Chain A
Amino acid sequence: MELTKETQIHMLKRMWTIRNFEIKVMEVHKAGEFVGPAHPYIGEEAVAVGVCSALKDTDYIAGNHRSHGHPLAKGGSIKKAMAEIYGKVDGYCNGNGGSMHLADFSVGILGESGIVASSVPVATGAGLASKLRKKDFVSVVFFGDGASNQGACHESMNLASIWKLPVIFVCENNQFAITTSYQDSVAVDNVSDRAPAYNMPGVLVDGQNVEAMHEATAEAVKRARNGDGPTLIEGLTYRFEDHSLGLGRVTKGEYRSQEEIDKWKERDPIDIHTKKLIERGTLSESECKEIENNSIEEIEEAVNFARNSEFPKPENLFDSMWANPIPKP
């Protein structure tokens, strides 16, 4: 395969959108503009963007608790995502969900969940739907190294394999489940090592390299659409920030060294991709800067949109509880 210039530029734009979105979320959370937890995705942008840039709008993704990046990479609305985080009525779930509930079926975003590994069977179910309805969409789930140990994850991979479902399991191994290193909690050295046990291919990919993630996903998509079944992709990446906003008592220094964080920051996914685009002559330095600046403006507009939106009314709390009309079995 070859990477078109458009795809290369699209990747940079989407990574900047996520980065600046998260920087702004951290800023406004600190200022007390919204309450509740939020989990910054900074440092891991290449995983979401690399994967989603290999998908169609009709393909589905499901996320996790650290999931602002996935819907933005898939083409979700920045304004609606920000409004949801603010708990406002113009947000994706009318402000009822918050940071971990950014769903938009129109571009294939099934949603996320704060329950670790709970989206894995959801995405597997979407893969089953694709197969039963004889559609060609694939379903992708993003989960972490911590989630990889959950029963729901193992069961889903097993089912996806025996039924040859078009599912791509993307483990974002950012190396820490909150504060627990994966070396201390995952029995194998790489999550992708588990793939042979489910009789599916498992691939270890540099999760800081958006093009490597894209290429691996494109091949997994090909396999899935061809009816050959699921793939497990492990993107080795790193969370640059703390686990969660609002958990100030768990600080970086307690479970990982600043030296380690700094070393990983030398492999910033945006810097890696920007350098390539400039070397190739795809974009000039100033054009790359323009993309960064445009995304800042875009995020600023989204924040203003969220600020100006209303909070949901208490009487509407149960409005989105059930499908309307409730589908017959």
Chain B
Amino acid sequence: MAKIGVIANPSAGKDIRRLVASGRLISNQEKANIISRFISGLLSKGVRDFYFMPDKSGLCKPAIENYRDQININFLDTKFYDGPEQTLIAASLLNDIKCDCILVLGGDGTNRLVAKKINKIPLIPISTGTNNAFPLMIDPTIAGIATGFFVNLLRGKKKYLIRNPYISVKVDENEKDIALIDLAISKQNFVGSKAIWDPEMLEELFLTKSSPLSIGLSSIGSRVLSTNKNKGLRIIFGQQGKLIYAPIAPGLISTLKVKHWSYMNPDEIIKIEKLSGTIALDGEREIEIFGNNKIEISYKKSGPYIIDIIKSIKQDNLSQN
């Protein structure tokens, strides 16, 4: 029987970007509703084994209440509630039990944490965050049906998977972290409330992809270069640069001066020295850097898999005809 992991970040979509931009609030009631709808889709395909990340908010309560007699409910033993640490532990545990796939509710940041721990388990990332370049804006019922179709396949699963690239960052030769969509170097000298929204603070930006339809730092890329599926993007900001505007946060359209832009080849190492400030991963300041740190940034193609929901649901519909 297929095993489905569920990681729902109770804090996703609630940070300072509600104040400094017009970030939407996704209440935890709505997140619970999303889980419930996702399960209904999977149940229609006979999938019944669920492994939930526990949380104090009770995001899994509706699933327990509505489907108590229909699904097997398992809670992961993460020892402690809430915070990024819990997401990392939950993802590791799901990796250990070899789940067939993981529903992730959050934005780019939550998916980044999960991606760090899951090896090749495919994700179904549904958007409940602020910047959502990685997750999908899709009805969870549909995502549930498509996931059910996928996990029930006996062979040929690979063609329903999409592999995503990522950006890796080393500090002083130590593997430090990854970003799924964007890595920015900011002049801001502290992590604080994490989010990044002041264009004046941006020094450099590295992207795995960019779309004119995306919100967040990745939107900047599409203003200077078209996305090349096999390459990353590097952008350097500076006073003498080309003036562009981009929606770097919901409702926040900023003007920026871009002085250099180029593609990054896979595994090419870009070395950065003598910059101090912070490194932001998928829109959140995470690492403080100082002038003496040696930073190495590279674009990698072997990132997390996600289930191709559109392809899966189309095939599922065809198989019913």
Write the residues of chain A forming the contact surface with B, with a CB cutoff of 8 angstroms: 1-3, 183, 188-190, 192-193, 195-196, 201-206, 209, 211-212, 214-216, 219-220, 223, 231, 236, 260, 263, 276, 279-281
Cα A195 to Cα B19 with chains together (Å): 11
Which of the four size classes fits the interface of chain B? 20 to 34
Decide yes or no whether B290 CB sits under 8 A from chain A: yes
Write the residues of chain B forming the contact surface with A, with a CB cutoff of 8 angstroms: 10-11, 14-16, 18-20, 25, 27-29, 56-58, 79-80, 82, 187-194, 198, 288, 290
Cα A101 to Cα B299 with chains together (Å): 58
Q: Is the CB of B16 within 8 A of A280?
A: no
Cα A260 to Cα B83 with chains together (Å): 14
Q: Is the CB of A188 within 8 A of B16?
A: no
Name which residue of chain A comes closest to B277, CB basis.
A2
Known pairs A3-B190, A202-B25, A211-B192; A190 contacts B14 (CB<8 A): yes
Name which residue of chain A comes closest to B30, CB basis.
A193
Question: Chain B contacts of A203 at CB under 8 A?
Answer: 14-16, 18-19, 193
Q: Is the CB of B288 within 8 A of A188?
A: no
Question: Chain A contacts of B191 at CB under 8 A?
Answer: 209, 211-212
Q: How far, in Å, is A225 (CB) from chain B's closest CB?
A: 14
| Contact with B18, one of A202, A206, A214, A276 (Cβ below 8 angstroms) | A202
Question: Chain B contacts of A189 at CB under 8 A?
Answer: 10, 27-29, 56-58
Name which residue of chain B comes closest to A206, CB basis.
B193
Question: Chain A contacts of B288 at CB under 8 A?
Answer: 276, 279-280
B19, B20, B25, B58, most chain A CB atoms within 10 A: B19
Cα A210 to Cα B280 with chains together (Å): 19
21 contacts between A and B (CB under 8 A): A2-B190, A3-B189, A189-B27, A189-B28, A189-B58, A192-B18, A195-B18, A201-B19, A202-B25, A203-B15, A203-B16, A204-B15, A205-B16, A215-B192, A220-B19, A231-B19, A236-B82, A280-B189, A280-B288, A280-B290, A281-B290
Q: How far, in Å, is B59 (CB) from chain A's closest CB?
A: 8
Name which residue of chain B comes closest to A263, CB basis.
B80
Question: Chain B contacts of A3 at CB under 8 A?
Answer: 189-190, 192
Q: Is the CB of A196 within 8 A of B19?
A: no
Q: How far, in Å, is B21 (CB) from chain A's closest CB?
A: 10
Question: Chain A contacts of B56 at CB under 8 A?
Answer: 183, 189
Question: Chain A contacts of B192 at CB under 8 A?
Answer: 3, 209, 211-212, 214-215
Q: Is the CB of B11 within 8 A of A204?
A: yes
Q: How far, in Å, is A258 (CB) from chain B's closest CB?
A: 13
| Contact with B16, one of A195, A211, A216, A279 (Cβ below 8 angstroms) | A216
Cα A263 to Cα B28 with chains together (Å): 24
Name which residue of chain B comes closest to A8, CB basis.
B190
Q: How far, in Å, is A277 (CB) from chain B's closest CB?
A: 11
| Contact with A216, one of B80, B193, B290 (Cβ below 8 angstroms) | B193
